[in-house]
Amino acid sequence: MVNLNGVKPKNGRNYYIALGLEGSANKLGIGVIKQPLLDSTLTGDNSHDCHTEILANIRDTYVTPPGEGFLPRDTARHHKNWCVRLIKKALAEAKIENPSIDIDVICFTQGPGMGAPLHSVVIAARTCSLIWDVPLIGVNHCVGHIEMGREITKAVNPVVLYVSGGNTQVIAYSENRYRIFGETLDIAIGNCLDRFARTLKIPNIPFPGYNIEQMAKKAQHKDNLVLLPYTVKGMDLSMSGILAFIDGLAKDLFKKNKKNKFLFDSKTGEQLITVEDLCFALQENLFAMLVEITERAMAHVNSNQVLIVGGVGSNLRLQEMMGQMCADRANGKVHATDERFCIDNGVMIAQAGLLQYRMGDVITDLADTVVTQKFRTDEVYVSWRE
């Protein structure tokens, strides 16, 4: 039996308020959520249905010029510059006047992610915790994505596909852990897309993957797919080879290297494919690989639902392909969210952190708030599920 009501809200309120701080990559997100004290969470397995109300969800992204990625140092500086201002704005938006009384818990991303940006945010989190006398909770970033996805879509026990700039994992829940069934062996899918966008020198606003998605829609030779390496390794994936290969194609295209017979007709020298076709082929190839391992994981755990989380999860083509796979399975269903919740945000950290808090997991010693670059999804004991 899971009792989510064990720890009561502060000051006899009948609802909990959590502040979530996220800064593991180039997005700085601050969120405030409210969860009512419900009878349905007293017993049973209802952590996906907490009636979470979002009071504030603001984000500031560190955007680099076309052709450049974000470096840890510069990203950390961005987060330091904006963190306190954003917290202030989020509190105002959530109409929180006295944080010491109104906030039950402050949740921050403990890992995984880039060390320096994570550290910038935890400094603000610790200071707020001490001046307001509000407890702190460290949240695993991946678990944050999963819990937010479950709360928004109400998916009870889905296979989770977590696809972002730093992670690519197929996850399923079993015995109080989110277990990793398959993952990337080298770079993450979002990293692969971002780096290809850098090769193409397309803008990083709103984010590189979105711009690749828009270009892929304009592909003119969709029926003549550019062949790329298809690198599924059992339940795992490898993407660095695909990136190197397609980077080479793009460079030959820009240099007008007529010797490349994939790109130019060997007799007439006519250009056969465009940059848009490359974007299309890259998406189709990568997403097909994801769909394959996700389907295999579904068969393993006997599940008919998929939840897609992480920044790449906002890609509509990925959602469509996953939908086609699920439609072929009995009662199959895809759950996905939009960019507000898919892309890194503070609300998801607040959601997972508040569940931890309600189960009585709270940091008592600040030495336990040290952030870590490596923090695997299955290291977290999921006490809030049966």
Shortest reach from residue 288's CB to other proteins, in Å = 41
With tokens 């996805």, the residue in question is: 149
CA gap 146, 373 in Å, rounded: 19
Shortest Å, Cβ 227 to other proteins:
45
The response to whether 29 counts as a known ligand-binding position is no
For the CB of residue 188, give the shortest distance to other proteins in the complex, in Å.
25
- Shortest distance (Å) from residue 364 CB to other proteins: 13
Nearer to other proteins, 132 or 245 (CB): 132
Residue with Cβ nearer other proteins (104 or 276): 104
Q: Which two tokens stand for residue 111?
A: 């890992």
Q: Do 179 and 173 contact (CB within 8 A), yes or no?
A: yes
Q: Is 104 annotated in some ligand binding site?
A: no
Q: Alpha helices of 53-136 — where are they, by DSSP H? A: 72-93, 99-102, 115-132
Distance of closest approach, residue 128 Cβ to other proteins, in angstroms: 6
209 has binding-site annotation: yes
Nearer residue to other proteins within complex by CB, 319 or 372? 372
Residues 6+ apart with CB under 8 A from 78: 26, 28, 60, 62, 117
d(CA 163, CA 177): 19
* DSSP conformational letter for 227: P
Q: Which of 158, 206, 174, 195 shows the shortest CA–CA distance to 286?
A: 195
2 is in an annotated binding site: no
Task: Give the span between the Cα atoms of 120 and 85, in whole angstroms.
Answer: 13
Residue number, 101 or 272, with CB nearest to other proteins: 101
- The count of other CB atoms within 10 Å of the CB of residue 158 is 26
Q: How far apart are the C-alpha atoms of 196 and 182, rounded to whole Å? A: 23
Ligand-binding annotation for 141, yes or no, is: yes
CB of 124 to other proteins, least distance (A): 6
* Residues lying near other proteins in the complex (CB under 8 A): 77, 80, 83-85, 87-88, 91, 99, 119-120, 123-124, 126-128, 130-132, 366-367, 369-370
Q: Which of residues 113 and 332 has its CB atom nearest to other proteins in the complex? A: 113
Does the annotation place 236 within a ligand binding site?
A: no
Cα-Cα-Cα-Cα dihedral of 96, 100, 103, 104, to 10°? -170
CA distance 162 to 146: 8
Nearer to other proteins by Cβ, of 5 and 81: the residue is 81
Phi, psi of 267 (to 5 degrees): -90, -55
Q: How far apart are CA 24 and CA 121, in angstroms?
A: 9
Tell me the closest approach of the beta carbon of residue 75 to other proteins, in angstroms: 13
| Nearest CB to other proteins, comparing residues 133 and 328 | 133
Q: Is 190 annotated as a binding residue?
A: no
CB 276 within 8 A of CB 215: yes
Q: How far is the CB of 380 from other proteins (least distance, A)?
A: 20
Judge whether 166 is annotated as a binding position: yes
CB-wise, 95 or 256, nearer to other proteins? 95
Spatial contact of 159 and 170, defined as CB atoms under 8 Å apart: yes
Radius of gyration, alpha carbons of the chain: 22
Q: Please give the annotated binding residues for substrate, written as ranges.
A: 162-166, 194, 209, 213, 315
Q: Please give the annotated binding residues for a divalent metal cation, written as ranges.
A: 141, 145, 162, 344
